[in-house]
Structures are given as structure tokens and as C-alpha cells.
Structure 1
Amino acid sequence: MYDTHADDYEDFELAERLNKSQQKREISDLHDLARNLSKLDAVALEKMELPNELFHALIDVQSMKHGAEKRQYKFIVKLLRQIDTESFLETVAELGAKKEEQDKHFHRTERWRDRLIADGHDAITEFMDRYPQADAGQIRQLVRNANKELLANKPPKSSRTLFRLLRDVISA
């Protein structure tokens, strides 16, 4: 006689169990999350309200070397598998987007500084058209000083000051 209930139970078991490839992808995703979390400083980790054991494991891994670090990441992944990681993924994504925006702003400011120093008057005119709130006299003076320092092989003090000024003007 054929027992249909046993077959239904086996089908249910197979449907519930993830295939090996899916398990590996999930563990890989958790490993990536663990690496991203370990790059954050203690203040950012505290704000995420992580379980105490996970928080300390992430702080500890930051000072470890190769073999110990690898074992610690396995331990962190084990801890992550026991909790809902959705909010952590969102927080890491938000922090990544914020950092990306900061990097874009930094590079935009660098390009303007380099262009002002290289092109002089024309670049200053274009910059003033785009950012009329800037102090043209101060920018011209810093560009002149930066060019003098460059020719004299001196430290780029004016170039740094120009960068800070441009950063403040562009972000305003």
C-alpha cells in the first residue's frame, strides 16, 4: 500500500530547505555585511543597537590579523544568522550612500581647486559665475600664492587654504 502522507511530508521538507547554492549566497551576503560593519567605528556601531556579543566581536576584529580575523568573521556570521539583519543592511547602505556623496563633493572641490590654480583668470570668472557668494579677491590671492608656492617648491599651504575655502563655498 502506498502512503501518501509520507510523500507530502517529504515534499514539505524539501520545499523548506534551501538549496546549497542559496545557502552559500546567503552566507556570502552575511560575510559582506560583517566586513562592512567591521569598517564602522564604535560610535556608529553603538547607534545601530547591535546585540552586545556582536558589537564586541565587530570591535575585536578591527585589531586582528589574518588567521584570527578569518575565524572572527566566521563567528560574526554565525551571530548574524541568529538575528534579523534587514535593518543593518539598510543602515550600511545609507552610510555607503552618504560616504559616496561626500566623496563626490570632495572630488568636485579638488577639481575646482586644480583648475583655478592651472587656468587662473578664466577659471576664476567661471567659478564666480557659478558661485556668486564667493569672495573673488580672496580666491585670486590664494590662487596667486598657490602658484608662487608651486614654482618655489614650497609646501602647498595656499592650495590647502584654497581647498577649504572652495569646500565651504560649494557646500553652502
Structure 2
Amino acid sequence: MSQNDDFRPDDEHEFDEEWVSKSQRKREMEHLQELGAKLPELNKEQLAKVPMGDTLRVAIEEAQRLQPRSEATRRQMQYIGRLMRGEDAEEIQAAVDQFEAGKQAHLQIFHKLERWRERLIVGDNTDLQAYLTEDPDADIQHLRQLLRNAKKEASEGKPLGASKKLFKYLRERADV
């Protein structure tokens, strides 16, 4: 009986499932590097919520202290990518995705308020009524005063101080 007689086709499938190409490993390492590069961009409160080891946390804090776009930062980011190999990348990715989703929602609200400001300044009473339908608790008198000032500045070509005040009021009303 030779050694090949003991070979079963099932053994070949087990080997195939464990085998990962060099290209696939490289893509996974690049993904970890990219994920690690997002971590220094987070603030302290967000970083505290990310599940990671102490070594990685210290490396991220060090990366935050370095000058952006420097050789030291590039090396530190590579080090963070290397440390990411020992971390649970799925949990870290989930936390980063959650922060990015919140940031995206904040931007959408911000853009909506900018559109309201432009619509109120350029528009007429129907636009004001549409806004008041959406925000019935707004101070109508104060809002009309802000609109008058913003329209006056726009017509005279003056700096947009009143327009900024209007936006600030809209932002306060939206609690953003």
C-alpha cells in the first residue's frame, strides 16, 4: 500500500478552505491599514468607544500628536496597520461605521438648514409658511426680523452677517 492510497478527496477540500492567496492576504492587510488610518481621525470620546488593545490605543494617540503628512506619520500609520492584525477588525469597523453614519446624518441636517436659509431669503411668505409648518414652535417675530435683515444685506451687497445669524437661529431650532 502506497502513501497515495490514504489520500481522500475530502482532505483536498479542507486544504482549499484554509489556503488564502498572497493577493487576498495583501488586500486584507491593506483593508486593515485603511481602517487603522481612520482611527487617528476620531476624537477622544469616539476612541474610548472603540474596542481595541492598549498598545493600539497608545499608537493612535501618538499618531494624533505627529505632524500630518510627515514621514513619521506615515511610519506610525504602518505600525498601526501592523497592530490591527492582532485586533478584532470587525468590531472596530462596526464602531467606525457607526461614527461615520452619525457624521453623515449631521451633514444632511446641515445641508437641509442651508437650503432652508437660501429658500427663506430668496423666497416669499409661502416659503416662510412652509418653514413654520415644519417648525411650528419657531419665534415668528424673531424669524421675520432675521429675514428682513438678511434680505436687506443681500440686496445692498453687504457682508452676510445677517444671513449667518439666520442660519445660526435655524441651527439652534434644529438642535444640531
TM bin (shorter chain) = 0.7 to 0.9
Quote the Cα distance in structure 2 between the aligned partners of 1:5 and 1:118. Answer: 85
Quote the Cα distance in structure 2 between the aligned partners of 1:76 and 1:101. Answer: 28
Matching residue of 2:135: 131
TM normalised by structure 2 equals: 0.83
Task: Please give the per-residue CA displacement for 1:118-150, whole angstroms capped at 9, x wherever unaligned.
Answer: 113231122122322222221111011012223
Q: Would you say how many aligned residue pairs link Structure 1 and Structure 2?
A: 171
- Quick one: structure 1 residues 159 and 5, their matched pair in 2 at CA, closer, same or farther if it must change by over 3 Å? farther
Identity %: 32
Quote the Cα distance in structure 2 between the aligned partners of 1:155 and 1:45. Answer: 40
Q: Is the 8 A contact 1:42 1:59 kept in 2?
A: no
Quote the Cα distance in structure 2 between the aligned partners of 1:140 and 1:120. Answer: 11
Quote the Cα distance in structure 2 between the aligned partners of 1:2 and 1:143. Answer: 92
Greater relative CO (CA pairs within 8 A, separation 6+): 2
Quote the Cα distance in structure 2 between the aligned partners of 1:5 and 1:69. Answer: 56
Deviation of 1:87 after TM superposition, in Å, equals: 1.4
Q: Is the 8 A contact 1:38 1:61 kept in 2?
A: yes
Matching residue of 2:24: 22
Compare 45-54 and 111-120 and name the one that shifted more. Answer: 45-54
- Quick one: structure 1 residues 5 and 55, their matched pair in 2 at CA, closer, same or farther if it must change by over 3 Å? farther
* Amino acid in structure 1 at the alignment position of 2:19: R
Quote the Cα distance in structure 2 between the aligned partners of 1:73 and 1:6. Answer: 48
3-state secondary structure, aligned to 1:18: coil
Quote the Cα distance in structure 1 between the aligned partners of 2:75 and 2:34. Answer: 15
Quote the Cα distance in structure 2 between the aligned partners of 1:3 and 1:56. Answer: 52
Quote the Cα distance in structure 2 between the aligned partners of 1:138 and 1:128. Answer: 12
